[in-house]
Amino acid sequence: VYGAYLGRIAGGGVADLAIPLSLRRERRFERTVGFCVNTVPVRIAAARGASLRDLAADLRDRMTGCLRHGFLPLDAILHEAG
């Protein structure tokens, strides 16, 4: 909802959000000291007239992709994106 709101007030219907993901998915990292988080960019496109259900389904699909690639450093993602 927040991303859709940002996209609409920006006038383009699109918002890019930075989502923090925990890198402590494996048991061996449970006792590791430090902030083990990676940031992934997520583009949210709020089509005019789209229902909240449609937005949630789109975000679910996008977040699933982000979770698969959450181990990549943000600077590597930005470099590849141009």
- Tokens 């590849």 belong to 80
> What is this structure's pTM?
0.61
CA separation for the pair 80, 74 (Å, rounded) = 10
pLDDT confidence of residue 56: 83
**Quick one: which of 82, 66, 80, 71 has its CA closest to 29?**
71
- pLDDT per residue as tens digits for the range 15-74: 788 888 877 667 777 777 777 778 888 888 777 777 778 888 888 888 888 788 777 777
**Quick one: which of 15, 19, 12 has its CA closest to 1?**
15
More confident residue, 2 or 41: 41
pLDDT confidence of residue 27: 77
Confidence check: pLDDT of 1 > 70: no
